[in-house]
Structure 1
Amino acid sequence: MNVFRFQQFDIKQDSEVFRVGTDAVLLGVLADLEHAKNVLEIGTGTGVIAMMLAQRFPQTNILGVDVNRIAVGLASSNFKASPFANRLTAELKDIKTFDSEMKFDAIFSNPPYFQVNSSSKDVVARQKIELDFKTLIQSSSKLLNDSGKLIVIIPRQDEEVFISLCEKENLFLQRNVSIRGIVGGEVRRSVLEFSKLKADRIIKEEFVIEKSPRQYSDQYLELTKDFHLFKS
């Protein structure tokens, strides 16, 4: 079993579960859970994002749900071995039927974004088979409390559609972080934060991963300095 090592915790990985990737790390360092206590992750996978956010926000209690039994086993094992074990839980749940008496302060997700195709690689994690944007948004709207927020990372080309779907469920854009792979490159990803409360002003930010090929930007190094093992 492959292990991805961070400074404060390790992530056990399996070929049947989507591995640690750049999108997960970006959501882990960019999502804002400052005022959230009870938090839900939809599609927890190995649990890496939940663990990063638990490290950043010590007041949070995070429940990670997934339809993949192997993923839930991995996440549970990773959670129990971490310094945040008492604040992290993984459960085998389908968000389409998941219900909770408690409403959440925040929900976050790195959802599948490829349309169903013939690829056999990480089918559930990458393709919209078990979870599509509409299902994610409708479920989140039902599970959030009145001041709660939904936080996602998605491809930039899906941004307008996602925002429109959110508005139909009374979730309104609060913050938009445009992510470029390299200085001067195209925006490839967006980290979006939504709330049931309309914002007076949408916060717009830009984030660049590399300043030159294979050279991380100062911005990336600063935000990941408490996670990655490499030195700046």
Structure 2
Amino acid sequence: MNKGKLHLVPNILSEDGHYCLPAYLTPLLSGLKYFVVEEIKSARRLLKKLNASINIDQLEFWMLNEHQSEIPPEVMHRLKDGDEIAYISEAGCPGIADPGQNLAAYAHQIGAEVIPHTGPNSILLALMASGFNGQQFCFHGYLPNKQPLLGQKIQYLETESRQRNQSQIFIETPYRNQQLFQELLKTGHGETKLCIATDLTGKQEKITTRKIREWKNHLPEMHKVPTVFILYAGIY
């Protein structure tokens, strides 16, 4: 029996970001019938953008996200039977701060082939442009959004960065960006550096690194804009 194949397919970070996807994805995805997706609407939009002639109604979609975290039984059966399936993230790379890791783990468990495909990743793009330590870094996902936990977490990350010479990367729900930024200004040491990367790969992309004391005179516009924050108190 043929081994099943699981393709891990990145999605764009912004509406203007299709140029970041490799050209070979178009014929690959056009030849597949089965798709596990984090969000059906964004996956269908991506497929149509890559190939306007694709017949979406002939494709099969299953959801896998934070609300539907169980791998659909039919997906399990198809991988076991040797079918080829693509998992498409809602934005960025599958398995990186993304539920695709569960499907990849299952595919390995049954001996299916797992094939990652290149594409945009906001975490790495922000780190690349930050000027911070790219050999020692840690991604924390979302920080607590309530006090005093948020302030305590920022202090912890700053200490970790200083002691380990480590870049500390985190994100926030876009409508809470300003709240997080204000807490960083309030809690962080003035000499600690902060990189703010907004709308990565989009028309309004902006990546800026300043000391926290300098940010107090340069308030960024990032309300409801996808943003990556990187804190760095080390020496590099």
TM over 0.5: no
Between the two structures, name the one with larger relative contact order (CA 8 Å, sep ≥ 6).
2
- From the two aligned structures, give the one with the greater strand fraction: 1
Higher Rg of the two aligned structures: 2
- From the two aligned structures, give the one with the greater helix fraction: 2
Normalising by structure 2, what TM-score?
Answer: 0.31
Normalising by structure 1, what TM-score?
Answer: 0.31
